[in-house]
Amino acid sequence: MGLVEGQVAFITGAARGLGRADAVRFAQEGADIIALDICEQIESVPYPMGTPEDLEETVRLVEKEGRRIVAHTGDTRDAAAVKKVVDAGVAAFGRLDIVVANAGICCSVGDDGSTDIPIWDDTIGVNVTGVWNTVRHSVPAIIEGARGGSITIMSSSAGIKGMLSLNAGDFAYTASKHAVVGLMRSYAMGLAKHSIRVNTIHPTGVATPMLLNPAVDAFIARNPTAAENYKNPMPVELIDVDDISNAVLWLASPAARFVTGVMLPVDAGFTAQ
């Protein structure tokens, strides 16, 4: 019997990285999956984003675990598109229990001095408005089920501490990851009467394409001391996606049935410095 056996999880940014890891981990523990990813490039993002082929691989991996999945492409900034996906998933599976608002972008690698408005707008759009759309269009289905539920919003260590550089991308990323904490706390209070728990997770650097890409490599090459500013107290440079998906699973499981309104760092001690 899996920890979330028979439940349904809606996961954004599911084509690869943390979103894919969450989808597979929940499937391993008995959940069916509603997956959403934009699967196209946002111009201001300096690294390659997920593709339709990546999303197809997520589907394959979930089905390999013996669970069902409905996967859609769409932009979380588009409220109507998010609602359509949630409605389609609930129609397919008959319920919704778990939400992982994972989709997010980072439009900077630290030293380009950029102040472009599109960088700010894209980052806030995906990382804040997209999270709000994801949560607000999921909540009615969870309430209707009258079984309680779990909503986890992916923040960052940058949602606890500021970043060091002074460009639009870093300002926007840090602001966005702090902003979703406010969303989390408000939803946690408002949904507690329905036994719906809402929390944020705050990772340190994770080994995903957001960090493992030529743009970041070039930044480190130009600024060889910069990596020192982001070192973890524990002896690990980047943590694995599984470290985060295990935390998301725990928050959704009965073991965390009274855990809500919590900022959970999974950061190898980074924010304790």
152 class by beta-carbon count within 10 Å (0-12 exposed, 13-18 middle, 19+ buried): buried
Return the residue matching tokens 């719906």.
196
Q: How far apart are CA 168 and CA 69, in angstroms?
A: 37
SS3 assignment, position 197: strand
Q: How far apart are CA 151 and CA 82, in angstroms?
A: 16
Helix (H) or strand (E) holding 52: helix 52-64
Q: How far apart are CA 81 and CA 24, in angstroms?
A: 24
Tokens of 140: 């009615």
Instruction: Return the closest-CA partner of residue 212 out of 25, 46, 70.
Output: 46
Helix (H) or strand (E) holding 35: strand 32-37
Q: How far apart are CA 233 and CA 137, in angstroms?
A: 39
Return the residue matching tokens 């079984």.
147
Please list the active-site residues: 173
Q: How far apart are CA 270 and CA 273, in angstroms?
A: 6
Residue 80 one-letter amino acid: A
Tokens of 118: 């599109």
